[in-house]
Amino acid sequence: MPTDYRGPAVFGFESDLPASRVAMISVHTSPLASLGRADAGGMNVYIRELCCHLAPLGHQIDIFARRVDTETPDVTELCPGVNVITLTAGPAEPLHKDDLFPLLPEFANQAVLSSLRRGVRYDVVHAHYWLSGWTAHLLRRYWDTPFVTMFHTTAHMKRSSGNSTVESPQRIATERQVIDLSDSLIAANPAERADLLWRQRMRTDKVCTVPPGVDLDLFTPGDRDAARRRLGLPGDRPLVLFVGRIDPIKGIDTLVRALADWPAGGLRPRLVLIGGDLDPGGSPTGDLAAVARQADTAGIGGDVLYLGSRPQSDLPDFYRAVDVVAVPSLYESFGLVAVEAMACGRPVVASRAGGLAFTIEDGESGLLVPAADPAALATALHSVVNDVTLADRLGKAAREAAYPFSWEAVASGISHILNRLALGHRADLCCDEEIFA
């Protein structure tokens, strides 16, 4: 047995919860990955925060992720009671998500061997994204565990958002199977739940809506100018902030066009862009270089500050330092960035898409605009940066609106589902009222 395994799950049954031991499956990206780069974003934050808030409730958790380098140890303690188990399946290097499906049987085998070596039995499996949902199905043959899947976005919802990226037929077909095979599904917003129920003619007790959360102690309001000085950001013009992975679904092209066609009156803001990769000289590289080319072509290249991906602990000051946060996504299952900005008391202008349409009340706690509409986005951003009273009102209401999304509330909702499943029930009786209680 490896000596570096620190999970108490090995040594005994330390909790009498039905779901005492939980396996989280996150094949394509690890909660140890740097955020804002490649595939690491909201799902990584979600798994880390959820698990670290589930553990104090009595769940012992192992998170299984695929090895993408040779340095990460086989077992890493994420927080007390939560381990990340890094498994080798395929080359120990980053691979495109579309190339992972053939590796899933090997990943499942390695997960089984790892649990056998450590003498761990799991009560329930929680899978994230369609690849992990399929893996949970493979694991059930060995572990005999019920499993719940959270897709963190489905190919169908992505396609219906007008996203031009073509999803693989493999994904579409497998997602349908995972929907049927899972004992329960967690939707991040009511539209996702409705879509799953309607399309699949599914039993209503199989799909629960539990939105993700935000760290309300980390993301707090603060003085804008003081934050700007601390960060050394220029104070001569308004600042618009974008935070996120560099992916077509994030609508960065819409934001660039909105700033390029800035309405008359008032200074054009600078764009502070967090996410993506910088080369050693600090210049955008990879997908971020394509964004830089678009900004140059649109004539606003000099107005964009490319800061690359940043640890999450750096972000509160960036949210506080700007005049408005833009979330121009074509689709967001939830949209953590919007809620983090709201928790910092900053006005948000976001697309009326996915979870954003539920977390933001248009005109009250932020502004909503149609997705992929640069003119509408520019008008909304313009109104916020040129109207201090409006910005203050939206910012204050935004902080209030973020309160229900605490990780404690999320963990208590998910704990309920895991325990019900481990007891052999589908996760009925899980309702939104309960997690907001």
CB of 54 vs ligand UDP, minimal distance in Å: 18
DSSP 8-state secondary structure symbol assigned to residue 362: B
- State the residues that interact with ligand UDP by CB under 6 A: 35-36, 41-43, 45, 243-245, 274-275, 309-310, 312, 315, 334-337, 340
CB of 274 vs ligand UDP, minimal distance in Å: 5
CB of 327 vs ligand UDP, minimal distance in Å: 7
Strand extents, DSSP E, 298-427: 304-308, 324-327, 348-351, 367-369
Written as six digits, the tokens of 379 are 């008008």
Measured CA to CA, the distance from residue 223 to residue 221 in angstroms comes to 7
CA dihedral 250, 251, 256, 258 (to 10 degrees): -130
Helix 407-422 to helix 42-54 angle (10° resolution) is 70
Residue 9 or 45 having the CB closest to ligand UDP: 45
Residue 7 or 347 having the CB closest to ligand UDP: 347
Q: How far is CA 380 from the centre of its chain?
A: 25
Residue 395 in contact with residue 221, Cβ under 8 Å?
yes
CB of 264 vs ligand UDP, minimal distance in Å: 32
Cross-strand partners of 349: 326, 367
Residue 192 or 340 having the CB closest to ligand UDP: 340
Task: Specify the pairing of strand 277-278 against strand 207-209.
Answer: unpaired
Is 94 buried (19+), middle (13-18) or exposed (0-12) by CB count in 10 A? Answer: middle
Query: CB within 8 A of 160, min separation 6: which ones?
Result: none
CB of 131 vs ligand UDP, minimal distance in Å: 16
Residue 37 or 257 having the CB closest to ligand UDP: 37
Measured CA to CA, the distance from residue 274 to residue 277 in angstroms comes to 9
Measured CA to CA, the distance from residue 379 to residue 73 in angstroms comes to 49
Backbone angles phi, psi at 203, to 5 degrees: -65, 135
Measured CA to CA, the distance from residue 26 to residue 369 in angstroms comes to 33
Measured CA to CA, the distance from residue 197 to residue 30 in angstroms comes to 29
Measured CA to CA, the distance from residue 18 to residue 422 in angstroms comes to 6
Residue 310 or 352 having the CB closest to ligand UDP: 310
Residue 20 or 153 having the CB closest to ligand UDP: 153
CB of 178 vs ligand UDP, minimal distance in Å: 19
Residue 303 in contact with residue 270, Cβ under 8 Å?
yes
CB of 35 vs ligand UDP, minimal distance in Å: 3
CB of 43 vs ligand UDP, minimal distance in Å: 6
Cross-strand partners of 348: 325
CB of 386 vs ligand UDP, minimal distance in Å: 26
Measured CA to CA, the distance from residue 413 to residue 211 in angstroms comes to 10
Measured CA to CA, the distance from residue 160 to residue 317 in angstroms comes to 35
CB of 41 vs ligand UDP, minimal distance in Å: 2
Residue 337 or 367 having the CB closest to ligand UDP: 337
Residue 7 or 355 having the CB closest to ligand UDP: 355
CB of 388 vs ligand UDP, minimal distance in Å: 26
Residue 108 or 411 having the CB closest to ligand UDP: 411
Task: Specify the pairing of strand 82-87 against strand 75-79.
Answer: antiparallel
Give Dmax (Cα) for the chain: 68
Residue 108 or 342 having the CB closest to ligand UDP: 342
Which amino acid is present at 180? D
Residue 189 or 415 having the CB closest to ligand UDP: 189
